[in-house]
Chains A and B, each alone.
Chain A
Amino acid sequence: MKAQLFKKLQQITEQNLMDIESHKQNGNHAIGFYCLYAPTELATAADAIPLPLCGTRQDPIEAAEEALPRNLCPLIKSSYGFAASDTCPFFRFSDMIVADTTCDGKKKMFELMNRITPVHVLQLPQQQNTDLFLDPWKAEISLLKQKVENLTGKQITDQDISNAIQLLNREREALKRLMDVTRAIPSPLTGMELIEILFKTGFFADKHKGIAIMDEIADACETMVQNGESPFKKTTPRILMTGVPVGLGSDKVIRIIEESGANVVAFENCSGYKKTFQVDETKDPLTALAETYLSIPCSVMSPNPGRFDLLEEMITGFSVDGVVDLTWQACHTYNIEAYGVQEFVADRFALPYLHIETDYSQSDTEQLRVRIEAFLEMI
């Protein structure tokens, strides 16, 4: 059952590029997004396709290093490399790129990317949920709305945004339900399978197709749990990954953890559970968007209490046996915040914790394997 659904997922993935193409041939637009902070609702509200952009593979990094320093986050280098070498179809489809000033590396990289294609950069505040920071963020989102209107020629009404919020809330609900199937002990899905589903559905132009396949997979997983089927044993160590986002191509740590006999059951990162925050449908839509998106607990926020709240909820809710904290090389904010996360995991939960700083290359695979195996020996 599960295998068939993965086949179907692959078929939709292959169909997806044609879906985008035909959508564009009908005169509609596509808008590329780099970071979870940018509200994709504004694209959906203007009948444009919001597309995540490539940035999880090693291949284009060499091309990126012609312009960018070597000692830089691989996510930034990969994103830029895909753009510079014109190897990301979603980038090519995008009529406009929406980015934000998440971190120093990204914002300076976007200045260079802007030479390749126009990048609209949102000025992201670095504190959350006080009016001092929420008001300018709301202004940024209004400005983005205007930009999208200018691009698409469509006037975006409050009703359009509300409809988009409803649709994407529905998508977030499906994402959460899918990620929650691994709360079962043992889990019906491997961490690698979960990554594959999250990664591939993210690119789907047709949100309804994504929601439907995620629901189908969740149904199948729930049946597996009822029948006691799982690729794991009840005693398999259950790992929570926290830190930087991961996707296909930047999954080596998850792969090694699972090759070493454990199961990654939860992703406390912006390619995982941070995608599931619901937007309030009862409030003024722009305010609701500003509030939810700004509340995403990335380490660029200072302070960043939301990450610890989320960790607390997930460590308990997913019955976790150990925490792996992943930092991409040269990501200062996650690298420094690891100190506090280590303390939190030790003091609050007395659980084994492993901090890994690495990049997308395979050069340190065996060194990582030693660390990860030793970490699992602690459980």
Chain B
Amino acid sequence: MVSAGIDIGSRSIECVLIENGLIKAARKTDTGYDPMSQAKKLIADLSFDSILATGYGRNLFELEYDSKTVTEIKAHAKGARFSFPEALTILDIGGQDSKVIRLDITGKVVRFEMNDRCAAGTGKFLEIMAQALGFSMDTFGTAAKNAQKSLGISSMCTVFAESEVTSLLARGENPEEIAKGLHQSVVKRAAAMLNRVSPEGPVVFTGGVAKNTCIVKFLEQTIHREVWVPESPEMNGAIGAALIAGEN
């Protein structure tokens, strides 16, 4: 029995195949302007017995493929438990939203909070700020880690923060120090949400932003809790969807 999970997010689409509790295949692509044709291309040459969709594009996918759907909250809960069976708290920072999920010991979602009305503190925010400072996404985190001090960025709004960064550069401030300030502001926002929704114990950190080792380090320093990052954090939602597809 091969089950597939597809996570159609606002920035990227991931697909995972699971057979006998093992990941058989995992791949991703950009969402682009036409999420359905991107999703179709991604799974065109894959064969599976059942498929289940999650993410913003899930309802569109459901119409085309007659697949079941789950919300990304449930998918992330399932996926985090696959990588870390003890997980009780999940922080997911994706392309355009961030969320904290609390589970009970059986893995059931008991509380969650989402920020998805703007790009503040998400992957998109970091992407735009890296661009404004002339870093690639690969070097942005390292640059921030190397900085001696951190320049405070007071605005969390992507639009306002970009003008704040521009004026700091115009004042001749060091880009690495600005980068550090930006990373810390993302972490502060995530920490506040964590403290509200699930204030204790280790945190499973998923989503594309979890690949930024600087964010992970600052997060550990800020919340004084263990932060567990799965091997492919951006695949977490698709893994969860594939697991749920296998159950049905």
Contact = CB atoms under 8 A, between A and B. Distances in A.
Contact of A370 (B109, B110, B111, B116): B116
Contact of B116 (A367, A373, A377, A378): A367
8 contacts: A353-B111, A366-B56, A370-B71, A373-B71, A374-B74, A377-B70, A377-B109, A378-B110
Nearest to B72: A370
A377 B101 CA distance: 13
Nearest to A339: B196
B117 A367 contact: yes
A371 interface: yes
B228 to A, nearest CB: 22
Interface of A: 346, 352-353, 364, 366-367, 370-371, 373-374, 377-378
B73 interface: yes
B70 A370 contact: no
A377 B71 contact: yes
A346 B197 CA distance: 13
Given A366-B56, A370-B56, A377 B117 contact: no
Interface in B54-84: 56, 70-74
B114 interface: yes
Given A370-B72, A374-B112, A377-B73, 4 more contacts: A370-B116, A374-B72, A377-B74, A378-B109
Q: Which 9 A-B pairs have the closest CB atoms?
A: A374-B73, A374-B71, A373-B71, A367-B116, A377-B74, A378-B109, A370-B71, A371-B114, A364-B117
B108 interface: yes
A257 to B, nearest CB: 14
Interface in B97-153: 108-112, 114, 116-117
Nearest to B97: A367
A364 B115 CA distance: 12
A17 to B, nearest CB: 38
What interface size band does chain B fall in?
Answer: 10 to 19
Nearest to A373: B71
Contacts of B112: 374
Contacts of B117: 364, 367
Nearest to B70: A377
Q: Which of B71, B108, B109, B117 has the most CB of A within 10 A?
A: B71
Contacts of B56: 366, 370
Contacts of A374: 71-74, 109, 112
Contacts of A373: 71
Contacts of A366: 56
B245 to A, nearest CB: 15
Contacts of B116: 367, 370
A374 B70 CA distance: 8
A364 B111 CA distance: 21
Nearest to A350: B110
B108 A378 contact: yes
Nearest to B112: A374
A238 B199 CA distance: 30
Nearest to A357: B117
A374 B110 CA distance: 10
Nearest to A377: B74
Contacts of B72: 370, 374
A37 to B, nearest CB: 32
Contacts of A364: 117
Contacts of A353: 111
Q: Which of A364, A366, A367, A370 has the most CB of B within 10 A?
A: A370
A158 B36 CA distance: 69
A352 B71 CA distance: 16
Contacts of A367: 114, 116-117
A346 B108 CA distance: 15
Given A377-B109, A378-B109, A370 B74 contact: no
Nearest to A367: B116
A181 to B, nearest CB: 31
Contacts of B109: 374, 377-378
Contacts of A377: 70-71, 73-74, 109
Contacts of A371: 114
A323 to B, nearest CB: 13
Nearest to A370: B71
Nearest to A364: B117
